[in-house]
Amino acid sequence: MNILAIESSCDETAVAVVRDGRTVLADAIASQVDMHTIYGGVVPEIASRKHVEAIVGLADRALAQAGIPKSRIDAVAVTYAPGLIGAVLVGVNFAKSVSYALNVPLIPVHHVRGHIAANYIAHPELEPPFVCLCVSGGNTLIVDVRGYTELELLGATRDDAAGECFDKVARVLGIGYPGGAPMDRLAQGGDDTRYELPRAHVADAPLDLSFSGLKTAVLNLVHNAQQKGETLDLPGLAASFAAAVSDTLVPRTMEAAGRLGYGKVAVAGGVAANSRIRADLESACRASGDKLYLPPLSLCGDNGAMIGCQGYYEYLAGVRAGMDLNAYANRDIGKG
């Protein structure tokens, strides 16, 4: 079964063709990062307009890459939540028109379920159940993946997402947008004990997380240093920051894995590219005996293939949408 998959929830427009859930025939992506860099963050209006400009050409490119005609497309899958509402709407409306024109089913896909599914593409042997740490620009969740379409939220950030925190700290340090990857490079060789940074706990919710205190602590540290004319040890700060983020994420993920006892842990989302988090999860899973599944860097950020993969499993579960499908800025991962 060939699925045409569409993703437009943030600042990447992506169209993929995925066969039977796990074989990627084409994955065409247009990033808008250069447009948003000058503003230091994603400007929603610009994002929507750029999606409109890119999406038709990307679909043509994806079909050409896949080497199949439109008539061989059996269904259309699309990210319908969560994300920037105007951006998501572009993909949803394009997907509706393709579904109508080709007379094939329309499958709505939750964006974070898609991030999790990137692991199915990377690891053909991986099947639920497993525990997944989902860390991206807008979401930080610990999820019980009981089945392909049966997911339960175990814990979530109460404030900022981990990726958002990386981006804001990078911005105040003047090292560019999006800041996760340059922060990661800066941290290499830095002393991770150089600065003492907080690790927050949420009272009575051991699997919930919080990053706003950490973000504020770094911002205060930078502003105080600037006021006093002191020079910061930037690699040390980046390494101390990555350690604080990882110390918040990894023990909670392992706590969830221990409670559920599946023996399998996966990571998903843009921040899954972070070298410190990957290394800490590797040693934690070595110690606990859990098998760890990490997506390759190319599948951590937004892409269409992950939507086509999850779309296949949603299709098998009977999930369909009509022409009244709406887009949502927020949506419970458990509800799909």
144 binds, among Fe ion, ligand ATP, Mg ion, none (CB under 5 to 8 A by kind): none
Segment near Fe ion (CB under 5 A); pick from 134-142, 159-167, 255-263, 277-285: 134-142
Of the candidates 286, 264, 325, the residue with the CA atom closest to the CA atom of residue 110: 325
Q: What is the nearest approach in angstroms of Fe ion to the Cβ of residue 14?
A: 10
The reply on whether position 27 binds Fe ion by CB under 5 A is: no
Backbone angles phi, psi at 68, to 5 degrees: -130, 150
239 or 327: whose CB is closer to Fe ion? Answer: 327
Q: What is the nearest approach in angstroms of ligand ATP to the Cβ of residue 231?
A: 24
6 or 218: whose CB is closer to Fe ion? Answer: 6
Backbone angles phi, psi at 6, to 5 degrees: -125, 130
Mask: binding to Mg ion, 292-311, rule CB under 5 A, as x and -? ----------x---------
Report angle CA 100, 106, 110 to the nearest 5 degrees: 145
Q: What is the nearest approach in angstroms of Mg ion to the Cβ of residue 129?
A: 29
Segment near Fe ion (CB under 5 A); pick from 132-140, 199-207, 216-224, 281-289: 132-140
Report angle CA 231, 233, 234 to the nearest 5 degrees: 105
The reply on whether position 164 binds Fe ion by CB under 5 A is: no
Q: What whole-number distance in Å separates Cα of residue 5 and Cα of residue 77?
A: 5
Q: What whole-number distance in Å separates Cα of residue 101 and Cα of residue 295?
A: 34
Chain residues in the site for ligand ATP (CB under 6 A): 9-10, 83, 111, 115, 136-139, 163, 166-167, 178-181, 184, 269-271, 273-274, 301-302
167 or 280: whose CB is closer to Mg ion? Answer: 167
Of the candidates 147, 8, 117, 18, the residue with the CA atom closest to the CA atom of residue 76: 18
104 or 169: whose CB is closer to ligand ATP? Answer: 169
Of the candidates 156, 237, 157, the residue with the CA atom closest to the CA atom of residue 197: 237
Beta bridge partners of 107: 77
Q: What whole-number distance in Å separates Cα of residue 44 and Cα of residue 47?
A: 5
206, 221 in Cβ contact below 8 A?
A: no
Cis peptide upstream of residue 128 (ω within 30 degrees of 0): no
Out of 10, 90, 181, 321, point to the residue binding Mg ion (CB under 5 A): 10
Within residues 297-326, the interface with Fe ion by CB under 5 A covers 302
Amino acid at position 118, single letter: A
Tell me the binding residues for substrate.
134-138, 167, 180, 184, 274
Q: What is the nearest approach in angstroms of Mg ion to the Cβ of residue 53?
A: 17
3 or 307: whose CB is closer to ligand ATP? Answer: 307
61, 28 in Cβ contact below 8 A?
A: yes
What's 335's DSSP letter?
T
167 binds, among Mg ion, Fe ion, ligand ATP, none (CB under 5 to 8 A by kind): ligand ATP
Segment near Fe ion (CB under 5 A); pick from 130-138, 143-151, 198-206, 255-263: 130-138
Rg (CA), the chain: 20
- Token pair of 68 as six digits: 């199949």
Out of 8, 13, 32, 136, point to the residue binding Fe ion (CB under 5 A): 136
Within residues 89-118, the interface with Fe ion by CB under 5 A covers none
The residue ranges that bind Fe ion (CB under 5 A) are: 136, 302
